[in-house]
Amino acid sequence: MTTFAVGDIQGCFDELQQLLTQVEFDPLRDELWVVGDIVNRGPKSLETLRYLYSLGDRCKAVLGNHDLHLLAIAYGKQPPRKGDTLDSILEAPDREELLSWLRFRPLIYYDELLQVTMVHAGIPPHWSLKKALRRAKEVETILQSDNFTDFLVNMYGNQPNDWSKKLKGWDRLRIITNYFTRMRFCSSDGQLELTHKSGSNQAPAGFQPWYNHSNRKTHDDLIIFGHWAALEGKAEHENVYALDTGCIWGNALTIMNIEARTLHSLSCEGYRKNGD
C-alpha cells in the first residue's frame, strides 16, 4: 500500500484523475489524503466530492475554508459569493449524503503509524500537536452535532485574532477554525494576520509564515498542508510540505508519496477565479 497526499483540488476533477493515473494510484490498495478545499472555483466540484466519497476509508480528508463555505451555503447560513461554482452540488439528488460526509471530516488528521499530520492551513506556533488535535476536536464536536448550523452562522470573521485560553463560545471556535483553515502569517505567539496572501518573502511587519517561527512547538512533527498557493509548493522548512501549487490558477496539481517523501506535479490549465 502507498499513501498519497494531494494538494487543493477545488473541483479540478479531470486534473485529479490524470494525476492519480500518472502515479498509478490503486483505490483498492492505496490511500489518498486530501488537504482540504476539495470544492469550489473549478468546474467539477460535484464529481470531485462524489469520487472522494466513493473511496470510503481509502480517503482521508480534512476541511478547508472552501469546504466549510459550501456547508454554510447549503444550509442557508451564507449567500453564495461571486465566483463560487457549487450549484452542481447544491442541486444534486445525493447532496445530503455528500454534505454529511463532508461535515464529518476533521480539521486535522494525524496518522500515528506514519507519524504524519495533515491540516489545511497550518498549526499556530504556540500549540503542540497534542493541543492542536484537542482544539480541533472542539470545533469538530459542534460541527458534527445537531446544532451544526449555529456554528456555520458564526464561523465567519477575522476577530478575535489573538488566542487566549479564556476565550469562550463562538469567538473561541472562530479563531480555532481560522488557524486551521485560513492562516498564512502569524506572530510567534499566534496572533493572526489574515489579509496578506502573498509569498513567504513578503510577510507583513511583525509576522512570519506560521511554520517559520523558531519557537514553533511542532518543529519536529512532519506536517502536510495546503491553502497557500503563493508558496508554489516551497515551504523551505524541514518536515513541512506545502502541497497547494495552484492548479486552479493555471499552475499545477501536486501529489506526495508520503512513505517515499517524493512529489509529483501535473501542469494545469486553470480557471483563474478570484478570491481566497
pLDDT band at 270 (very low <50, low <70, confident <90, very high): low
**Per-residue pLDDT, 271:** 54
Is a pLDDT exceeding 90 seen at residue 169? yes
pLDDT at 85: 95
| Fold classified for 3-267 | Purple Acid Phosphatase; chain A, domain 2 (3.60.21)
> What 3-state DSSP class applies to 255?
strand
Instruction: Look at residue 203 and tell me whether its pLDDT is greater than 50.
Output: yes
Q: Report how far residue 224's alpha carbon sits from residue 27's, in angstroms, rounded to the nearest whole number.
A: 21
Q: What is the pLDDT of residue 246?
A: 96
pLDDT at site 272: 52
pTM of the model as a whole: 0.96
Beta bridge partners, 117, equal 110, 223
Domain residues of the chain, as ranges?
3-267
Q: With H, G, I as helix, E, B as strand and everything else as coil, classify residue 110.
A: strand
Q: Say what the pLDDT of residue 275 is.
A: 42
Please check whether residue 176 is in contact with residue 138, taking contact to mean a CB–CB distance below 8 angstroms.
Answer: yes
Query: What's the mean pLDDT in 138-142?
Result: 98
The cell numbers describing 59, all together, are 480517503
Peptide bond into 160 cis (omega under 30): yes
User: Which whole number is the average pLDDT over 200-209?
Assistant: 92
